[in-house]
Structure 1
Amino acid sequence: MSILEPDPTAPLRVVVGVDGADGGRDALALAQALGAGPALLVGVFPMRNHVAGIDALGDTDAVRAAALRGDLDAAAAGHGLADAELCPVTDERPADAIVAAAVSHEADLIVLGSSRRGALGRLFLGDVGREVLRCAPCPVAFAPAGYAEHAVEPRRLVAGYDGRDGAEPVLETAVALADRLAAALTVVVACAPLPASLRGAAASAVDVQGISEQERHAKEELLARTLERLPGRVAGRLEEGAAATVLVRLSQEVDLVVVGRRPRAHRLGPGGPSDALAHGAACPVVVVGSATAATGATARHVAAER
């Protein structure tokens, strides 16, 4: 199964990271809003945590697992995921356990909540989220803090696109999600301002206006070419500003943002769109890694919708 399956009614296999706190409840609410099919709830607690009044260091694995399973069962039932498969895990590296579960479960999507350090109503990606995102075998969805209190089924989606190598899976994932959710999708291309070096003292030596017009024209052409090969119902929008700034602002107007992340050697690079969204988005965000390969099924799905 794949999030890019041509049949939009095919259920999604979703792994939800549940930590027993608000972030876990937000993740469960987002999984439900996205219409999760067979869900695997991974409850990962460090070995030195107290769970349901039990000292995890002083009890057997069976007792710890039973306590975690009870918490997961209650959480699943409370979010309409009564048929969810439960996977209580005690691990000093929660991200490793979540990624391993996604691989073994052949997950289409991982869903996580915001770090507790995040402000209410905003997304803040903590260390576990960063590590999961770096190693995930599939797209990762993040719910902002407090999402469980006002969760809605996404009806307005935005996909950030820049046309670079590795960006195609963003469009494919966004189109597939829009189909599944019967949602409106807008592809956004950002037209970034010129570097400060060209706007300052050096401006007199170059044709700043000419460069700006060329840049805008190139972005307009990119958007037009992109829309030509997408289903006719997909809208396009050219926005002035850096991609990160544009997408964070639009997150206040829509229900879900889909964005790409390019591979880094060790961690997310600061200042990129996915990193900025992970620290300030007002709505859920789905991050698609460049390694999310397009399949023949994906191409057929997009072509059939044109």
Structure 2
Amino acid sequence: MKIEHILAGFVPGGRGQDGLTLAVLLARRAGARLTVAHVHVPTWPTPGPGKIDAEWRAYVAAQAQTVLEQARELLAGVRDVPVDFVSHGHRGSGRGLVQLAGRLEADAVVIGPAPGGGKGRIRVGSTADQLLHTSPVPVALAPRGYAESHPPALRRLTVAYRRDPASDEAVRQAFELAGRMDVPLRLVTLVLGGGRRGGVEAEMLGRIREKVTADLDEIVRGHDDVRVDVEVLEGRDVAAALAGTDCEGAMLICASSETGPLRRVFPGDVSLKIIRSAPCPVMMVPRSPAGKRGSAGRRGKR
């Protein structure tokens, strides 16, 4: 996975700042340039009465520039990342960002959380939902309050792994990205179960633990160029399992569902639970054809 150009969707307020913070940290670590985009309501598709139409277009343009000025002020102290600013009209903010990503040949899209979520958690709103079901490039989501309590740098990538072709490909891409970013990689598998366990249940859990540990050991073979750790996380649910690992300075990578379309982001049930439960940023990567090599972000290279 190569990330050379990041598109960050921006809206006024704290959640927009959360997304910008993650975008800057990712761009800085990957050596990428950043484009900050505000998707606004479109102007009328057909011309209306001359004066009204002109006034509406001027109002929309002025509002968009005001929003982008806020983003410029927030990034005024960023000197080590090249930043551009752009506005785009679309009825759906997520679909508008997908259009811009294609037009600008961005390698990833970054946004903040939807309003109303808990601090330190990601809430999926309409923008994220559109991106998570249509984007041809990886989508990274920042948790609420990330701008206030973010790490000084992204220091590790973590991949939520289960043995299937989509996860195998996500791991391959994560190894490539970790090498480019010069950060260690951690592979985690979640083993879920709740309540008190009898002898049979405990034995079954032990076998599952042995199996996923063997799967993790197998997938890391031959990757000596990146420091990698493996970990089995256990808990009654996804949130409890993720609470058992250190996510400080990390970004969690999830594979798209095997049932989703090729070359598109498409989360499964477990991935959605991970997104909503993770105490750190999460990146969803598109589903790639089995054995596909090269950048996951550029459609012309896939």
For residue 34 of structure 1, give the secondary structure of its aligned residue in structure 2.
helix
Return the offset for 1:276.
Answer: 1.5
- Equivalent residue letter for 2:293: G
What is the CA–CA distance in structure 1 between the aligned matches of 2:34 and 2:292, rounded to whole Å?
23
CA distance in 1, matches of 2:277, 2:120: 9
Is the 1:190–1:242 contact (alpha carbons within 8 Å) kept by the matching residues of 2? Answer: no
Structure 2 Cα separation of the partners of residues 223 and 252 of structure 1: 19
Deviations, residues 98-143 of structure 1 (Å, cap 9, x unaligned): 1111111221111010011112222111121011111011111111
TM-score under structure 1 length normalisation: 0.76
Q: Is the CA contact (8 Å cut-off) linking 1:160 and 1:247 kept in structure 2?
A: no
Which of 213, 225, 243 is equivalent to 2:218? 225
Residue of 20, 33, 38 corresponding to 2:12? 20
Counterpart for residue 91 of structure 2: 92
Q: Is the 8 A contact 1:156 1:185 kept in 2?
A: yes
**Shift of residue 181 of structure 1?**
3.4
After superposition, the Cα gap between the structure-2 partners of 1:114 and 1:219, relative to the gap in structure 1 and judged at 3 Å, is same
Structure 2 counterparts to residues 160-199 of structure 1, below 5 A = 160-193=160-193
Check conservation: 1:16, 1:31, Cα contact below 8 A: yes
Residue 142 of structure 2 is aligned to residue 143 of structure 1? yes
Q: In structure 2, the residue corresponding to 1:116 is in which secondary structure?
A: coil
**CA separation of 1:103 and 1:249: change in aligned 2, threshold 3 A:** farther
1:42 to 34, 37, 47: 37
Is structure 2 residue 124 aligned with structure 1 residue 128? no
Q: 2:55 is matched with which residue: 59, 70, 78?
A: 59
Considering only aligned residues, what root-mean-square deviation do their CA atoms show, in Å? 3.3
Contact 2:40/2:60, CA 8 A, preserved across alignment: no
Contact 1:169 1:288 in 2 (8 A): no
Pick closer, same or farther for the CA change 1:253–1:186 going to 2, 3 Å.
same
Match of 1:211 in 2: 204
Cα distance in 2, alignment partners of residues 136 and 115 from structure 1: 18
Q: Closer, same or farther in 2 for the Cα pair 1:229/1:104, shift >3 Å?
A: same
2:253 partner letter = V
- Partner Cα distance (1:63, 1:180) in 2: 43
CA shift in 2, pair 1:38/1:157, >3 Å: closer
Deviation at 1:243, TM superposition (A): 7.7
Alpha-carbon distance in 1 for matches of 2:208, 2:245:
22
Distance 1:287 1:165 in 2: 15
Question: More deviation in 279-288 or 133-142?
Answer: 279-288
Residue 33 of structure 1: aligned partner = 25
Q: Per-residue CA shift, 1:170-193, capped at 9, x if unaligned?
A: 213322332343322211123344
User: Is the contact between residue 242 and residue 277 of structure 2 (CA under 8 Å) also seen in structure 1?
Assistant: no
Q: What SS is found at the alignment partner of 1:215?
A: helix
Cα-to-partner distance string for 1:278-302 (whole Å, 9 max, x where unaligned): 2232211111132377643469xxx
Q: CA deviation at 1:61?
A: 2.1
CA shift at 1:64, angstroms? 2.0
Give, in angstroms, the shift of residue 223 of structure 1: 1.3
> Which stretches in structure 2 are left out of the alignment for 5+ residues?
44-51, 297-302
One-letter amino acid of the counterpart of residue 258, structure 1: I
8 Å contact kept, 2:5–2:107: yes
The aligned residue for residue 65 of structure 2 is 69
Distance 1:165 1:295 in 2: 11
The answer for unaligned runs of 5 or more in structure 1 is 6-10, 49-55, 300-306
Structure 2 partner of 1:303: none
In the TM superposition, residue 18 of structure 1 has moved relative to its aligned partner by 0.6
Tell me the TM-score normalized by structure 2.
Answer: 0.77
In 2, are the aligned partners of 1:144 and 1:284 still within 8 Å (CA)?
yes
Residue in 2 that maps onto 1:239: 233
Q: Which residue of 1 aligns with 2:250?
A: 255
Match of 1:154 in 2: 154
Aligned-partner Cα distance in 1 for 2:212–2:121: 29
